[in-house]
Amino acid sequence: MKQDYHYLQASFDNPVMAIVQGIDRDVEHGEDLLMLGLGIVMLSSTFAPVAPPILLLPLVALTFAITVTLAHRNYRKMESKLFASMSRLSSQDIALLRPIAAIFAEVPADSLAESFNPAKNLKRTLKSALGGVLINPLWMPIFYMMGLQINAEKRLSSLNRAIIGVEQKINPPSAWV
């Protein structure tokens, strides 16, 4: 039997608040994935004395690729869970969640096949090539993957801003005191 994925929980009286808290938790998870990749890359310099650049630099690019892929899957899952949850709500509740849903429309996540294809991302490819020429050709894939990482961070950041806006509509700052 296929399990239904959504953010609605029976423990919450307010379904909008349940959705907002669930998607906020998933945004934090996506940010944690990206920060994990960045942290691993930052620690890679400790292996520089023992690992040659021809081995270490592709591993850095691979680390970025893995964390971006995991963050992309998390973003897609958030989108599907949000729309599955919204299909069960009244029009008044949907209107409250519309800013969050708009982010998924305004800042869509490209497919991974399209994101990883250098021929379809010429601007990122040219920037990566320029960085590789200036520093070291082995850095070209790292710069390309860093571009993917930055795009994933931008998507999560805009989604986080929308969540904060919805939270403020549900619980205005005057109610916080």
User: Residue 142 to residues 21, 38, 149, 168: CA-CA distances in angstroms?
Assistant: 34, 12, 10, 39
Task: Give SS3 for 123.
Answer: helix
Residue 2 has pLDDT above 70, yes or no: no
- First vs last C-alpha separation in the chain: 46
Q: How far apart are CA 125 and CA 5, in angstroms?
A: 37
Q: How far apart are CA 129 and CA 108, in angstroms?
A: 26
- pLDDT value at position 1? 38
pTM (2 d.p.): 0.87
According to DSSP, residue 148 is labeled H
Residue 71 has pLDDT above 80, yes or no: yes
101 neighbors 86 (Cβ within 8 angstroms): yes
Query: CA dihedral in degrees (141, 70, 109, 56; nearest 10)?
Result: -10
- pLDDT value at position 87? 87
User: Residue 167 to residues 14, 57, 84, 95, 175: CA-CA distances in angstroms?
Assistant: 12, 42, 20, 13, 12
Which is it for the CA torsion 46, 52, 53, 58, positive or negative? negative
- pLDDT value at position 59? 92
Query: CA dihedral in degrees (113, 118, 34, 131; nearest 10)?
Result: 170
- pLDDT value at position 15? 84
pLDDT tens digits along 82-122? 998 888 888 888 899 999 999 998 888 888 888 888 888 89
Q: How far apart are CA 86 and CA 117, in angstroms?
A: 33
What is the residue extent of each domain of the chain? 15-110+152-170
Q: How far apart are CA 71 and CA 113, in angstroms?
A: 15
pLDDT tens digits along 34-49? 999 999 999 988 988 8
Lowest mean pLDDT among 92-101, 157-166, 167-176: 167-176
Place of tokens 């930055």: 150
